Amino acid sequence: MAYTGPRIDADVHHAWRDDAELLPYIPTRWRQAVADRQFAIGPAMMSYPHTAGVNKRLDTYPPIGGPPGSDVATMQRQLLDPHNVSRVVLGFDVGLNAAVANPYLALALVQALNDWSIDRWLSQADDRLYGALLAPTHVPEEAAAEIRRVGGHPRIAQVLLPWNSLGRPFGHPVYHPIYAAAEELGLPIAIHAGGGEVAMSTGQTAAGGVMPTRLEFHTVLPQTSQHHLLSFITHGVFERFPNLRLMLSEVGVTWVPWLLWSMDASVDELRRESDWVRRLPSEYFFERVCLTTQPLEETPQRSQLIELLEAVGGLEDVLCFASDYPHWDTDEPNYVERRLPEAWLPKVFYENARRFFGWDTELPPAATSAQAPA
């Protein structure tokens, strides 16, 4: 029995077609230097294979040219229409473009990306398109200002922290102005996988040393997000900002039992070292956090995945479907549908994300783009 209700896709990546499309949004102060490639629109990446544009499904290159995720029509044809998706949250190509060392250029790029996204995507007639706003994490006060500048747009759904620019886990008090602004605007925070794999990053991507292959890097990829989550508890982000919610994107889901049990087991130490840990870590987790499903771990048997997820109890209220289109390891909805317990599907595909984003009107089962207003 297939799930036929509406679907929300919480992590989709959109991109600009070429520099010319983005340049008008970049302030004149920086525009010529960017156009001349004196400054790239993005950082020097570390040398993991597949970071330079081939971490995408090859079939997602739009027929009209440009990189995957840069053409609305292709996205509609490949993702929105065939998979009955009622709403997507666009999150750039994870937004590491702002992870440049120069904080002034970083701010200019973030503002340009946000303006471009609102102008070119979130103003489309297709009202299934929602987006994240990018926060410039170098200077948290500037991030707060940027959230207040564009966060009121009706199709902005969350605040994306793309780069751990200060080398501290995101719960650290230095980042708190970001959360004050996000809470004020009613926007949840999204932390995407990775974020340290750029030049001059001090927040390492793996404990124990630098990983040499993408196989190793990607296998332990959840470690950064695990630390961000724990630091939100250690530093009282959920206590200081009682309405703030957190989404962890693209780090899979099967590590949750270990981390929740381990956090709760150390609540004595947590309380001795922090004034902010007032409840069990797992209570904060179930009340405030959601995880996107992608990449849903491919256990040899479906029952292994279900047993692992059910071991913790209550995870059906935490998971939100995400395809991660057009990345190389996209999870299509029918794949997720085959893997999870049938009773979880209305929550995972729709209800959890609708509650998380605070969308209080019922969404209809998806229209196709042919039916949507032109």
In whole angstroms, how close is the CB of 363 to another protein at the nearest point?
31
CA distance 302 to 342: 12
84-106 as b/e: b if 16+ CB within 10 A:
bbbbbbbbbbbbbbbbbeeeebb
Task: Select from 24, 27, 49, 65 the one that contacts another protein (CB under 8 A).
Answer: 49
Task: Select from 65, 313, 341, 358 the one that contacts another protein (CB under 8 A).
Answer: 313
CA distance 360 to 141: 30
Bond before 242 cis per omega within 30 degrees: no
CA distance 52 to 47: 9
In whole angstroms, how close is the CB of 160 to another protein at the nearest point?
16
Q: How far is CA 279 from the centre of its chain?
A: 26
Using CB under 8 A as the binding rule, the residues of this chain from 62 to 121 that contact another protein are none
Task: Select from 98, 134, 157, 211 the one that contacts another protein (CB under 8 A).
Answer: 211
Task: Select from 155, 235, 288, 347 the one that contacts another protein (CB under 8 A).
Answer: 235
Alpha helices (H) in 137-255, listed in sequence order: 140-150, 176-184, 214-219, 222-234, 237-240
In whole angstroms, how close is the CB of 211 to another protein at the nearest point?
6
The answer to whether 39 contacts another protein (rule: CB under 8 A) is: no
Task: Select from 228, 245, 347, 354 the one that contacts another protein (CB under 8 A).
Answer: 228
In whole angstroms, how close is the CB of 164 to another protein at the nearest point?
6
The answer to whether 204 contacts another protein (rule: CB under 8 A) is: yes
The answer to whether 200 contacts another protein (rule: CB under 8 A) is: no
Nearest to 188 by CA among 16, 65, 358: 358
Kindly state the tokens that stand for 321: 């479907």
Segment interacting with another protein, rule: CB under 8 A, options 16-24, 126-134, 140-148, 255-263: 255-263
Kindly compute the dihedral angle of the four CA atoms of residues 305, 50, 8, 231, in this order, to the nearest 10 degrees.
Answer: 70
Quick one: 253 or 366, whose CB is closer to another protein? Answer: 253
Segment interacting with another protein, rule: CB under 8 A, options 111-119, 137-145, 227-235, 340-348: 227-235
Task: Select from 32, 262, 334, 368 the one that contacts another protein (CB under 8 A).
Answer: 262
Owner of token pair 């009209």: 64
Task: Select from 312, 322, 340, 345 the one that contacts another protein (CB under 8 A).
Answer: 312
In whole angstroms, how close is the CB of 295 to another protein at the nearest point?
7
Segment interacting with another protein, rule: CB under 8 A, options 64-72, 108-116, 305-313, 332-340: 305-313
Segment interacting with another protein, rule: CB under 8 A, options 59-67, 75-83, 101-109, 221-229: 221-229
Handedness of CA 317, 154, 191, 277 (dihedral sign): negative
Segment interacting with another protein, rule: CB under 8 A, options 152-160, 177-185, 204-212, 330-338: 204-212
Segment interacting with another protein, rule: CB under 8 A, options 3-11, 71-79, 84-92, 303-311: 303-311
Kindly state the tokens that stand for 274: 């922090």
Q: Could you report how far apart the first and last alpha carbons of the chain are, in Å?
A: 33
* 271 φ/ψ sector (left φ>0, alpha ψ -120 to 50, else beta): alpha
The answer to whether 164 contacts another protein (rule: CB under 8 A) is: yes
The answer to whether 292 contacts another protein (rule: CB under 8 A) is: no
The answer to whether 46 contacts another protein (rule: CB under 8 A) is: no
In whole angstroms, how close is the CB of 192 to another protein at the nearest point?
12
The strands making up 289-292's β-sheet, listed across from edge to edge, are: 7-12, 85-90, 129-134, 156-161, 189-192, 246-249, 289-292, 319-320
Q: Residue 137: in which H helix or E strand, if any?
A: none
Pairing status of strand 246-249 against strand 189-192: parallel
Using CB under 8 A as the binding rule, the residues of this chain from 165 to 184 that contact another protein are 167-170, 172
Give the interface with another protein as residue ranges (CB under 8 A).
49, 164, 167-170, 172, 195-196, 202-216, 218-220, 222-228, 230-231, 234-235, 252, 254-255, 257-259, 261-266, 268-270, 272-274, 295, 297-299, 304-305, 307-308, 310-313, 328-329
